[in-house]
Amino acid sequence: MNPAVFLSLPDLRCSLLLLVSWIFTPVTTEITSLDTENIDEILNNADVALVNFYADWCRFSQMLHPIFEEASDVIKEEYPNQNQVVFARVDCDQHSDIAQRYRISKYPTLKLFRNGMMMKREYRGQRSVKALADYIRQQKSDPVQEMQNLEEITTLDRSKRNIIGFFEQKDSADYKVFERVASILHDDCAFLSAFGDVSKPERYSGDNVIYKPPGRSAPDMVYLGSMTNFDLTYNWIQDKCVPLVREITFENGEELTEEGLPFLILFHMKEDTESLEIFQNEVARQLISEKGTINFLHADCDKFRHPLLHIQKTPADCPVIAIDSFRHMYVFGDFNDVLIPGKLKQFVFDLHSGKLHREFHHGPDPTDIAPGEQAQDVASSPPESSFQKLAPSEYRYTLLRDRDEL
């Protein structure tokens, strides 16, 4: 028998202290550093990845580092599987090619990826451990609400865009594609599903997906493409979930501003759906080819009183159409002129050609003056941009570029 070993009281206390420290010290996880060699493999294999694009010299990046690491530790305890959630980072000074690939224009930028696909909306919330952890928990929640009976359709929130899938089985290839699309677009639409006997009355020709537009008067639309083709399904649902004319709010203003495109905005009273419908129709009719050069938006006159005052208007003047180029604001003529063929299109063309800017500073172009009429210099100064104030702030980010003047 081995002789017993007795520790002195100080040694025993020290040993107990070390044991307690070992038990209660949280396990820390290493943030994955991405480079050109590993980025595609790591992101493609991750269900959800939150990537911090940073620069070591940026003070906001320095402040975020310990918060990002602690949030990663919290989430790793809840999702221990290596590929469930990945917290990663890119040193943009060391890997400028990756920064250019993802169009990084400020530090730090937090982008979300699902199975390698970058989500349109980056994280812009509070930079705290709790906020980051809650954000990931939300991203890991089921993006599709399962209906227990079809009567639930009658109680849907019809102010939202609803996508409803009817499937025979939840483990089918059809539903897997639907679920994947929902995980990407759940911020833009509400996704619902029904299975088996519950969905049977709606599956007369097999699994199908329908779109219910906002309001109760617009008819449903049915997806007629292949249910197992992700690209076709995604493109059809995205077209329904992301309208040509989007609403700008204080919540999405930073995101829309950072897209870098001028705004063509309809200011209207919230209950004035008729003016909005006219504007939507004319944008689709006259300006569909300009989709990549300008953002088509509508705004609540009451909520955006300040931009209206900027152009010497009040909610009583609504509906009002204006362009914000991020340098200046330009007002369209009478709202009813939008119905004149080509009038709205010319307004946008005049922005891109610089005519609006020239005329506000130097009066009408000589080509617009009738023969024999004497040109007059009526120089003026257009109001400065109002929505530029919603852009990413220098008190929160290190900004890397400025926009050109229009």
What distances in angstroms separate CA 237 from CA 187, 214, 240, one per listed residue? 13, 14, 5
Res 360 pLDDT > 90:
no
Q: What is residue 300's predicted lDDT score, i.e. its pLDDT?
A: 96
- Stated as kind and residue range, the H or E segment containing 164 is strand 162-167
- Rounded to 10 deg, the angle between the 173-185 and 230-241 helix axes is 40
Mean pLDDT check: name the lowest of 11-20, 95-104, 211-220, 294-303: 11-20
Write the DSSP assignment of 212-228 as a string of letters: E-SSSSSPPEE--S-TT
Q: What is residue 373's predicted lDDT score, i.e. its pLDDT?
A: 54
The share of the chain scoring above pLDDT 90, in percent, equals 70
Would you put residue 243 in left (φ > 0), alpha (ψ -120 to 50) or beta? beta
Per-residue pLDDT of 3-16, as tens digits, reads 555 545 555 554 54
Per-residue pLDDT of 189-210, as tens digits, reads 999 999 999 999 999 999 999 9
What distances in angstroms separate CA 354 from CA 253, 350, 387, 395, one per listed residue? 25, 6, 20, 32
Q: What is residue 139's predicted lDDT score, i.e. its pLDDT?
A: 93
Evaluated on CA atoms 126, 128, 132, 134, the torsion sign reads negative
Q: What is residue 272's predicted lDDT score, i.e. its pLDDT?
A: 95
The share of the chain scoring above pLDDT 70, in percent, equals 86
* Region 36-43 average pLDDT: 96
List, in sequence order, every beta strand (DSSP E) within 198-334: 208-212, 221-222, 246-247, 263-268, 295-300, 320-324, 329-331
Q: What is residue 24's predicted lDDT score, i.e. its pLDDT?
A: 43
Q: What is residue 216's predicted lDDT score, i.e. its pLDDT?
A: 80
Per-residue pLDDT of 315-339, as tens digits, reads 999 999 999 998 899 999 999 999 9
Q: Is 125 exposed, middle or buried (0-12, 13-18, 19+ CB in 10 A)?
A: exposed
What residue ranges define each of the domains in the chain, with the CATH number in brackets? 32-140 (3.40.30.10), 144-241 (3.40.30.10), 246-364+382-395 (3.40.30.10)
* Average pLDDT, rounded, for the chain: 87
* Region 53-74 average pLDDT: 96
Q: What is the pTM of this model?
A: 0.76
